[in-house]
Protein backbone atom coordinates (compact mmCIF):
# COMPACT_ATOMS: atom_id res chain seq x y z
CA UNK A 1 0.00 0.00 0.00
CA UNK A 2 1.34 3.43 -0.99
CA UNK A 3 2.01 5.84 1.83
CA UNK A 4 0.09 9.14 1.65
CA UNK A 5 2.03 12.31 0.94
CA UNK A 6 2.82 14.58 3.86
CA UNK A 7 0.15 16.89 2.44
CA UNK A 8 -2.47 14.14 2.52
CA UNK A 9 -1.41 12.86 5.94
CA UNK A 10 -1.63 16.38 7.39
CA UNK A 11 -5.23 16.74 6.23
CA UNK A 12 -4.96 18.42 2.83
CA UNK A 13 -5.80 21.99 1.89
CA UNK A 14 -7.73 22.84 5.06
CA UNK A 15 -4.83 21.68 7.23
CA UNK A 16 -2.30 23.72 5.26
CA UNK A 17 -4.45 26.85 5.41
CA UNK A 18 -4.67 26.38 9.19
CA UNK A 19 -0.90 25.79 9.42
CA UNK A 20 -0.10 28.91 7.38
CA UNK A 21 -2.51 31.05 9.42
CA UNK A 22 -1.13 29.71 12.72
CA UNK A 23 2.48 30.20 11.59
CA UNK A 24 1.72 33.76 10.47
CA UNK A 25 0.07 34.52 13.82
CA UNK A 26 3.06 33.13 15.73
CA UNK A 27 5.42 35.23 13.58
CA UNK A 28 3.40 38.33 14.44
CA UNK A 29 3.97 37.55 18.14
CA UNK A 30 7.76 37.17 17.67
CA UNK A 31 9.70 40.41 18.31
CA UNK A 32 12.10 39.81 15.39
CA UNK A 33 9.56 38.48 12.89
CA UNK A 34 6.75 40.89 13.68
CA UNK A 35 7.91 43.70 11.39
CA UNK A 36 8.33 41.70 8.17
CA UNK A 37 5.14 39.76 8.85
CA UNK A 38 3.06 42.85 9.60
CA UNK A 39 4.45 45.19 6.93
CA UNK A 40 5.89 43.30 3.99
CA UNK A 41 3.34 40.66 3.09
CA UNK A 42 0.69 40.22 0.46
CA UNK A 43 -2.94 40.41 1.60
CA UNK A 44 -3.13 36.76 0.47
CA UNK A 45 0.04 35.76 2.33
CA UNK A 46 -1.45 32.89 4.32
CA UNK A 47 -3.21 31.42 1.27
CA UNK A 48 -0.03 31.75 -0.81
CA UNK A 49 2.12 30.25 1.93
CA UNK A 50 -0.32 27.36 2.31
CA UNK A 51 -0.28 26.76 -1.45
CA UNK A 52 3.53 26.75 -1.55
CA UNK A 53 3.92 24.34 1.37
CA UNK A 54 1.13 22.14 0.03
CA UNK A 55 2.81 21.80 -3.36
CA UNK A 56 6.25 21.06 -1.93
CA UNK A 57 4.82 18.48 0.46
CA UNK A 58 2.80 16.53 -2.08
CA UNK A 59 -0.31 18.57 -2.79
CA UNK A 60 -1.63 20.27 -5.92
CA UNK A 61 0.66 22.50 -7.97
CA UNK A 62 -1.34 25.72 -7.55
CA UNK A 63 1.68 27.76 -6.47
CA UNK A 64 3.61 26.88 -9.61
CA UNK A 65 0.65 27.63 -11.86
CA UNK A 66 -0.40 30.92 -10.30
CA UNK A 67 2.47 32.37 -8.27
CA UNK A 68 5.70 31.71 -10.12
CA UNK A 69 6.80 28.44 -8.56
CA UNK A 70 9.98 28.11 -6.58
CA UNK A 71 11.73 30.96 -8.41
CA UNK A 72 8.77 33.20 -7.59
CA UNK A 73 8.93 32.35 -3.89
CA UNK A 74 12.69 32.90 -3.72
CA UNK A 75 12.37 36.20 -5.61
CA UNK A 76 10.03 37.51 -2.88
CA UNK A 77 12.79 36.92 -0.31
CA UNK A 78 15.88 37.68 -2.40
CA UNK A 79 17.96 40.61 -1.27
CA UNK A 80 15.70 41.43 1.67
CA UNK A 81 18.39 40.81 4.28
CA UNK A 82 17.66 38.82 7.39
CA UNK A 83 18.99 38.64 10.94
CA UNK A 84 21.10 35.53 11.42
CA UNK A 85 18.49 33.80 13.57
CA UNK A 86 15.45 34.65 11.41
CA UNK A 87 15.26 31.18 9.88
CA UNK A 88 15.54 29.51 13.27
CA UNK A 89 12.83 31.77 14.68
CA UNK A 90 10.56 31.12 11.69
CA UNK A 91 11.10 27.36 11.96
CA UNK A 92 10.19 27.51 15.66
CA UNK A 93 6.96 29.35 14.80
CA UNK A 94 6.14 26.72 12.14
CA UNK A 95 6.85 23.82 14.51
CA UNK A 96 4.67 25.31 17.26
CA UNK A 97 1.98 26.18 14.72
CA UNK A 98 1.58 22.50 13.85
CA UNK A 99 0.00 22.09 17.29
CA UNK A 100 -2.11 25.25 16.87
CA UNK A 101 -3.39 23.93 13.54
CA UNK A 102 -4.02 20.49 15.05
CA UNK A 103 -1.85 18.65 12.56
CA UNK A 104 -1.25 14.98 13.37
CA UNK A 105 1.01 14.44 16.36
CA UNK A 106 2.62 11.37 14.80
CA UNK A 107 6.40 11.41 15.48
CA UNK A 108 7.58 10.43 11.99
CA UNK A 109 5.30 13.04 10.41
CA UNK A 110 6.50 15.74 12.81
CA UNK A 111 10.13 14.76 12.15
CA UNK A 112 9.63 15.05 8.36
CA UNK A 113 7.90 18.43 8.72
CA UNK A 114 10.64 19.75 11.03
CA UNK A 115 13.35 18.55 8.64
CA UNK A 116 11.54 20.27 5.76
CA UNK A 117 11.16 23.65 7.46
CA UNK A 118 14.77 23.64 8.65
CA UNK A 119 15.94 22.94 5.09
CA UNK A 120 13.54 25.53 3.64
CA UNK A 121 14.55 28.32 6.00
CA UNK A 122 18.18 27.66 5.15
CA UNK A 123 17.40 28.03 1.48
CA UNK A 124 15.47 31.28 2.01
CA UNK A 125 18.25 32.69 4.21
CA UNK A 126 20.76 31.88 1.47
CA UNK A 127 19.03 34.34 -0.88
CA UNK A 128 18.60 37.11 1.72
CA UNK A 129 21.88 39.00 1.07
CA UNK A 130 21.56 42.23 -0.89
CA UNK A 131 22.08 41.83 -4.61
CA UNK A 132 21.02 38.18 -4.75
CA UNK A 133 19.51 37.28 -8.13
CA UNK A 134 17.23 34.29 -8.58
CA UNK A 135 17.44 32.03 -11.60
CA UNK A 136 14.12 31.74 -13.41
CA UNK A 137 12.19 28.48 -13.75
CA UNK A 138 13.88 26.65 -10.89
CA UNK A 139 12.16 23.31 -10.30
CA UNK A 140 9.83 23.16 -7.34
CA UNK A 141 11.41 21.21 -4.50
CA UNK A 142 9.50 18.10 -3.49
CA UNK A 143 9.71 16.80 0.05
CA UNK A 144 8.49 13.44 1.32
CA UNK A 145 8.67 11.30 4.43
CA UNK A 146 12.25 10.51 3.37
CA UNK A 147 13.34 14.12 2.87
CA UNK A 148 14.16 16.08 -0.25
CA UNK A 149 13.15 14.18 -3.39
CA UNK A 150 13.53 16.89 -6.04
CA UNK A 151 16.05 19.65 -5.49
CA UNK A 152 15.61 23.11 -7.00
Q: What is the pLDDT of residues 82-97, one digit of tens each?
A: 767 788 999 999 999 9
Please say whether the beta carbons of 29 and 96 come within 8 A. no
Note down the domain range covering 57: 11-150
pLDDT in tens, 68-122: 999 899 888 787 777 677 889 999 999 999 999 999 999 999 999 999 999 999 9
Residue 5 lies in a domain: no
How many other CB atoms are there within 10 angstroms of residue 58's CB atom?
19
71 part of a folded domain: yes
The answer to whether residue 76 is domain-embedded is yes
Q: Is residue 2 included in any domain, yes or no?
A: no
10 DSSP β-pair partners: none
- pLDDT(41) > 70: no
Residue 81 lies in a domain: yes
- Kind and range of the H or E element at 148? strand 147-150
Q: Is residue 89 part of a domain?
A: yes
Span 18-28, average pLDDT? 96
| Total count of domains within the chain | 1
- pLDDT more than 70, % of the chain: 96
Cβ atoms 103, 15 nearer than 8 A:
yes
Query: 23: closest CA among 112, 83, 109, 113?
Result: 113
On whether residue 6 sits in a domain, the answer given is no
Q: Is residue 25 part of a domain?
A: yes
Domain CATH code at residue 98: 1.10.490.10
Amino acid sequence: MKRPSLYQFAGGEEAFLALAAATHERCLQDPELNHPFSHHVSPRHTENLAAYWAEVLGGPNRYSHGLGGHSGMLTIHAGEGAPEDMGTRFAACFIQAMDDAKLPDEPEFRHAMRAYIEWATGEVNAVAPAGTRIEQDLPMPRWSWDGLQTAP
